[in-house]
Each structure stands twice: as C-alpha cells, then as structure tokens.
Chain A
Amino acid sequence: MKAGSNLEKILTAGHFAFTGELGPPRGTSIEHVKEKAQHLIGHVDMVNITDNQTAMVRMSSWAASMIVKELGLEPNYQMVCRDRNRLAMQADILGAYAHGLRNILCLTGDHQQFGDHPNAKGVFDIDSMQLVSMVKKMRDEGKFLSGEEIHEPPKFFIGAAANPFADPFEWRIHRLAKKVEAGCDFIQTQCVYNMKKMREWIKMANDMGLTDRTYILAGITPMKSIGMAKYMQSKVPGIEVPDEIIKRLQGVDKKMVAEEGIKIACEQIEEFKELKGVAGIHLMAIEWEHKVPEIAERAKVLPRPVMD
C-alpha cells in the first residue's frame, strides 16, 4: 500500500471503482456541503473535491475535503497549478496529509480568464505533470522538490487527469505515458462521449503496458438536456460530443431527455465494466448530486465494497 486510502484498497483488490464529484460552495455553508455529500455517502468510493473549478472562487478544496471526510466519505483532494506556487503547494500537501487526507488529484487547472477574476495573475509555477512527480518525490523519497528531507513525509495516492479527445490525438497516449512515468497511481479521464476514440485510446494504453502501471477511471457525465449537450459540443474545450448523442437525445420526448441521458451513461458504464484496461468510473454529475444514487443503482455498481 502506498497511501492506504479507500480507493487504493478497492483498486488493488481488483474491484471496479466508482467515484463521484462535489463542488465546494461559494460561501461558508457547511450545510451546503453536507446536503450534497449525503447523496453520495455509500454510493461512491471516493469523491473529488474541486479546487476553484472554472477559476471561480470557492471554499478551498482541502477545507471542503475535511468536512466531507468527517461525514464518512473519502475525499479526493484536488489541486490546481493556477493558484499556488511550489511552496504553497507543498505546504498544503503536508497540511492535508496531517489532517488525514489520502488521495490527491493533480491538475493544471482552467485558465483564470474563464472565472470571476479574469485578470488575476495565473501562477502556473509548475505544471500538472511536474506536480505529480513532486508529490511522488515527497512520498517515495521523503524529499521536497528542492531535495531537502521531509520529517514524516506525506503518503498520498496520486491521481491525475487525462483527456483522450484533445488534439493531437496521436500525442495523447504519450502524454498519458509521461504522466505514468511522472508517478501517478490513478487517472480520471475527461467526460467520455466518443466511445470509439476511447476504445482506441485504451487499446493503445494496454499495448504500451500503461494500464498495468496505473488505474484508469473513465469519466462519465450524464446529459441533462439537449442544450447542455450542444453547449458541451461547441463551447467546452477538450470535450468531444458526437452528433449521434445529440440525435439520440433529440429523438426522445422532451420530458424524457434527462432519462435518456442517464440511459446513455448506464450503457457506457456497462461497456467499461467489460473493457480491459478500465478500472472504474468517475461520475461527474454536475449539480445533479441527488441523481447519483439512482444512476449508481441503474448502472448496477451497488453495493460498494467496504474495505477495512
């Protein structure tokens, strides 16, 4: 065991993992976090706590992670490179570990121009890949980035993101290889809609032996409406929504679009369960946390295994 988190135990035991996502509030309400978290307890193995996602100021990821942890749900502490330099990052990693957090997800982060402070200075002192390698160095070598010894180093289960659909496609697998080389233990992918491309990517990962060295969790976001599907297709960078998905949503009765979206998600989950190289699902039900139990139920991933 590298870190001994619930997710690590589930993955190493060979179970099909199922993780969720939770955005901290834009305020100080603990109730808000609790309300969102209660839908997830018992239905996911771990929940990602986003870090100022889309560059909007929110309760800090480690603080929200602590609240979630108290509720009995395992958090995945997300960290982006946009807001902190290497000193602050390492300090936060130490603090987060001291408070019992065991998973970390290393991201570059959305550009500040998207958010509510578009002219903030983006730090980007190091990039996500260097962050992965830094956390690994802290854990495995017990050293800071500078090379100085750490007294009781933090032991994190290190995650990273991968986007199989961004350009250039042929480079994506090499980028995954670089992340694995940097030392990530698990990968959560961008929302998958283009299954053909995903299969191709996973096959390459299998062929290169990358899936033996890291666990890949496929990202799933059920479509809530046709508008959302079209927005994702045209406006969200790095997400590829094939026309078939939109046609399929348009083909059903207006009231049933959300239902159809969940159906598509469940079909994807069914396929990933059988696909060699995919170790689990990362469900990003954006502002739809209360649907998670239903989706988990229908995707037949319940009950979640309890590890000791």
Chain B
Amino acid sequence: MKNYMEISFLAKSENEAFARVVVASFASQLDPTIDEIADIKTAVSEAVTNSIIHGYDEDESKLVYLKCEIEDNTIKIVIEDNGNGIENIEMAKQPLYTSKPELERSGMGFTVMETFMDEMIVSSILGEGTKIVMKKTIKSNKREE
C-alpha cells in the first residue's frame, strides 16, 4: 500500500490534539493495535509541542508542517518548523535535557520519540528550523486469523 498526505497548521496548542488525531486517522489504514497507535500519537505530540514551544516560542501565527507517507506496513512521519533551530542536537537529545526548565519541561521529548518509534532522525539549522523524521512499521497486521 502506498499513500501520502501533508498538512500545515497554526502553531497553537489546540492543534496538538488535532495533529495527533490526523496522524492516527491516516495511520489507521495500516490496521494498527491500540498500543501502536498510542505510540504514534505520543511521538507526534512531542514533536509538535517542540515545534510550538521551542521552535516558535509559542508565536501562534507560525505554521507547523507535517507529512505522512505510508509504504507497505511502514508509516513515515515528518514534522517541521521554520523556527529557532537547535544549536547542539546531540545535547538536545540527551534524556532530561531541556533548554526551558522554567516551563517545567521534562526534557524527555526526544527520548519518547526514539523509544516509541522505530527510527527518529533530527536535523536542524540554527535560526532556520527543525525537521524530525520518524518511522514505524506496523507488524501486527501480518498475523494469521
């Protein structure tokens, strides 16, 4: 199976739940389990929240870009912003590292994305923006019944 969609939306916190459901609904074509969809939704939430809070400093006039590609049983999700960018990606990916401790961030966003998805790649240019590419293969629909 092959499918594709892309969406952009304002960097408003209300749109985080929206983005999660958009991806969940697109991914549902792969007939995932509840756990698999929960993993995907959590990873998307973390990435979108990062774009809103860190990328755009909550400037609600900016846009977050999301692309989904399905190929066979794998969904590839790309989340991008044209925001602040990350100076040191290795440091940012460390568990518990956060540049906004004052907002009571947990610093676990990247760790969650890496744990819940099969693959996660971060690329970023300071002052230009950040792009997260995540992949997950839905294995469960290969079962015999």
Do A and B originate from a single complex?
no
Which residues of chain B have a CB within 8 Å of any CB of chain A? none
Which residues of chain A have a CB within 8 Å of any CB of chain B? none
